[in-house]
Amino acid sequence: MAVLGKIRQKTGLLIFLIALALIIFVVQGALENGFFGSNANNIGSVNGTDIDAQTFMRKVAQVEKQNQNMSNTQAMNNVWEQELRGIIVGEQVEKLGLGIADDQLINVIKTNPYFSQNPQFLNAAGQFDEAKFKEFVKSIKNDQNQDRWAEWQNFENEVEKSAIEQLYFNLIKGSIYTTKAEGKFKHVAENKKVDFEYVTVPYNTINNDEVKVSDDEIIAYMKEHPKQYKSDATRAIDYVLFENKASKEDEDLVGKTINEVLYGNVEFNKKTQKNDTIPAFKDVVNVAEFVNKYSDIKFDSTYLAKKELPLDYQEQLFNLGKGEVFGPYLFSNHQCVSRMLDRKPNASAKASHILISFEGAERSTATRTKDEAQALANELLAKVKANPNEFASLAAANSDDPGSKNNGGVYDNIAPGQMVPTFNDFVFNNPVGTTGIVETDFGFHVIKVLDKYDAVLLATVAQSIEPSETTIDAIYTKASKFEALANEKKFDEAAKEVEATIVPASNLKASDEYVAGLGAQREIVRWAFNDDTNNGDVRRFDVPQGYVVAVLKDKNETGLLSIDVARQSVGNILMNKKKAEIIKKKMSGATLEDVSKATGSSMILASGVATSSPFIPNIGSEPKVIGTAFDLEAGKTSKLIDGNTGVFMIRTKSITDAPEAANINSYVETELTQQQNAAQMRAYQALKEKAKIEDERARF
């Protein structure tokens, strides 16, 4: 009683202590769960609008269910982009007060093939019946299972949202217009041509060792051009893969088993408690049953051409006699033994053809008549017979078959029945070397039979060479020891000590799934972006190939490309600038002839080049060089030009103005279509760049 009395006297203090303990508990939980600085219930936010993690992951699961070939990370990135777009465009839609009425929503829904083609929603005339559709919606609303109604409401919301977004972008596209002046400019860009002579010394004539580009120079250049080299936060790791490979002992064990298949064996049967004699493969009667019992790859009754057999053993396998056995041989990590079952002559063929189509033929765009097509085919046949070596060039110049004209008209490995009947009959009913003409629905074909192939049916017992449990345990031990060693020493020193190969993986982004050389490894990416992971931290991961020991090499939070990636792009730009200075010293002289003599480079003519396609034949894209050529008067020589591929000096020979266009409307319409199609993407991209986006996907 004395104790209770004291407690009553101290009630105020007790309440204060309990409240204090609760506050400490809540604050501690908030800190542990990251509530301060990032909301653990959200996967991110856009302009202050939170994206609820639970709702987000439910959408991810739905996308995965609808697209079974899509990984979890791919689905997450897909939904993330949808959420960004929905919020960013939604803000603009709200500002404009855009919306659609119920009848407009029905008009949108009925464009869905499920509704527009479903007999349930069609009237007697086969047209969409709005009354039937409304009755369908009413039945869902009155359904005792209100989950169906909730799903339908979600569907309607998504349709409405999508329709309003499209309305918004249609307004943007509708605001785009193209003037006649722009159409005229496009006409001139495509049809004004320049001829010029040039001398060039390529950058690759200077060894990379002669110029050095420092990391500081690369970083400084990116800072000068931040928009060009903007990047999300990235991570770079190094890793060593300890692959689960079969040991020599594992290979020997499979080799012993495959030899038993090859030569026969006596095997104890537990059911009968007697020894069973396994016949040698060459003596087996039911081959398919034997293969399915002893092979890791089931029996396949497909006939194969010679070129479809394992490359290293094509001759031995293809030339087996019926019933003969070849092996053991190693193929695709399997020990194999093969037996010849059958050979089929003329199982496939190789032929070349020239298709001459005519107006009215199937898939034809030709304007020639049928008689004209036949006359041309006869003419080509005569040329082919006179000079068989011309077939490829005649096909390239005359054939109306886009699928074969650029490879000499050749179709290889043609199976019986693959081509239309008359074509098929000509190829398979005539000997190799026969040339002739057949008519099909596509036109007239000038055909030459090039080859016929036999095919063989092989039965193969293939036993996979897999690492044993003992081998896998040894690999695990090796990986664990290396992990411990890499925590004691520098990663590269530890790898050198155990003679392991380090593989770099740079430019990893928080939303990435794949790691170079390892495939889908979301766990490694998540670890690299974990707030608790610091540069130099080492960790071992189980992967399908075995075990990976990785070290976090670099955290890049600068907003620019990582230095590893920038070396490939920015490094080349800066290197070429330095090479240009070396090259310019060699390109001495005031004329093209002087520079050609000083450098030993030829003077080359480029003809008919337009600004709309600023390519120099056999060189590549050189807009700066071609722009200079148009800017010079005929006969004038340029100064040295730093191009994309090297340093140039040019001399303009002539400029041919674009002919007067009788009607530039086609150019105006083409330009308008291109600008309208690009407007939607550009508008959204601008809004996205302006938005304040917080991305917490790295935690998931």
DSSP letters spanning 125-182: TS-B-HHHHHHHHHHHHT-S-HHHHHHHHHHHHHHHHHHHHHHHHHHHHHT----HHH
Looking at residue 558, the DSSP 8-state letter turns out to be S
The reported pLDDT for the residue numbered 633 is 95
Residue among 698, 690, 699 at smallest CA distance from 46: 690
Q: Judge whether 235 and 555 are in contact, CB under 8 Å.
A: yes
Residue among 364, 394, 389, 377 at smallest CA distance from 436: 377
Mark the ranges of the chain whose per-residue pLDDT is less than 50.
Answer: 1-38, 268
Helix (H, G, I), strand (E, B) or coil at 324: coil
The reported pLDDT for the residue numbered 126 is 83
Looking only at the bridges linking them, the beta strands covering 604-609 and 519-520 are: unpaired
Dihedrals phi, psi of 649, to nearest 5 degrees? -125, 135
Which residues have a Cβ under 8 Å from the Cβ of 685 and sit 6 or more positions away? Answer: none
The reported pLDDT for the residue numbered 449 is 95
First to last CA, the chain: 56
3-state helix, strand and coil shares in percent for the chain, rounded to the nearest 5: 50, 25, 30
DSSP H or E run through 667: helix 665-690
Q: Judge whether 690 and 206 are in contact, CB under 8 Å.
A: no
Amino acid of residue 523: E
Helix (H, G, I), strand (E, B) or coil at 295: coil
The reported pLDDT for the residue numbered 571 is 93
Q: Judge whether 280 and 262 are in contact, CB under 8 Å.
A: yes
The reported pLDDT for the residue numbered 149 is 87
Vertex 589 angle, CA 213 and 639, to 5°: 65
Q: How many CB atoms lie within 10 A of CB 145?
A: 9
